[in-house]
Amino acid sequence: MLPRSRPARHWIVGDVHGCADSLLQLLRLLPADDRLVLCGDVINRGPQIQRAMELAWSLVRSGRAVWLQGNHEAELVAELEREDGSGSAQLDGCDTYRQLGGSLCRLWRRRLATLPLVLPGRGWVATHAGFDPHGWQPDLHVRHPFWHAYDGRYGQVVVGHTPGKGIRHHGQGSIVLVDTGACYGGELSAYCPETGQVVQVSGQRPLPPALPPGMRDQLAALQNRQRLQRCLG
């Protein structure tokens, strides 16, 4: 007689934000037959955005993961749809746009636009930030209004969006926050709603933000003066 297989489990992963190495390390620690739920904001901020996107999409295509849309994916899609092909101030300030370039971002636009907002499970639901307490529709930016008003109608809600130290619980455990600041040097966390287990790996330091041209010129001039002083000294 064959042994009875255990029920399928899910691991809801907090905001990756370009930390591809951390996501890969996390995958190695999780059972290969369990399903992953990437809780949005795979893009922006971190040092390996393209690698993180490609890894996440390969997991989606293999059927191992669901990638939920976060506010960063939604905002990139919206800006790409508004641009005229020559970029915009908002896109120029976007980490993903700077790392991938305009052509590659436009190729990704259709994929990012199709990402679901919610994944329901048995007694739980995963979404990026929460639900608008007025109409109880998914909201990619909400925080405190949802935390204070949630009445348990969807069971346990697991969200990312708000970085913090460790997995946090609101409303006597009815809301679980799994963003533990991987891109700020914190951890990348995975939470299992079926068992309550948590698996974590170290995050990655972000790249320094791009300097505005004027500040970049000032910094270069200062460095040149310092080099000249050292030579003369």
The DSSP-derived string for 53-113 is HHHHHHHHHHTSEEE---HHHHHHHHHHHH--SS--HHHHT-HHHHHH-HHHHHHHHHHHH
Distance (Å, whole) CA 97 – CA 80:
10
Domain range list for the chain: 10-207
Lowest-pLDDT range, 85-99, 151-165, 216-230? 216-230
* pLDDT tops 80 at residue 115: yes
* Sheet strands side by side (includes 35-38): 65-67, 35-38, 10-13, 187-191, 198-202
Distance (Å, whole) CA 38 – CA 99:
21
What's the pLDDT score for residue 233? Answer: 45
What's the pLDDT score for residue 82? Answer: 85
pLDDT in tens, 186-213: 999 999 999 999 999 999 876 555 545 5
Only one residue has tokens 């809780």, namely 39
pLDDT in tens, 73-98: 999 999 998 875 555 667 878 999 99
Q: Are strands 10-13 and 187-191 parallel, antiparallel or unpaired?
A: antiparallel
Tokens of 119: 């994944």
Superfamily of domain 10-207: Metallo-dependent phosphatases (3.60.21.10)
Tokens of 174: 């009815």
| pLDDT band of 183, cuts 50, 70, 90 | very high
Distance (Å, whole) CA 65 – CA 10:
9
Q: Identify which has the larger pLDDT, 215 or 98.
A: 98
Distance (Å, whole) CA 90 – CA 232:
44
The pTM of the full predicted model, rounded to 2 decimals, is: 0.84
What's the pLDDT score for residue 2? Answer: 45
- With CA atoms as reference, report the closest residue to 19 among 200, 211, 185, 198: 185
Only one residue has tokens 């460095």, namely 223
What's the pLDDT score for residue 156? Answer: 98
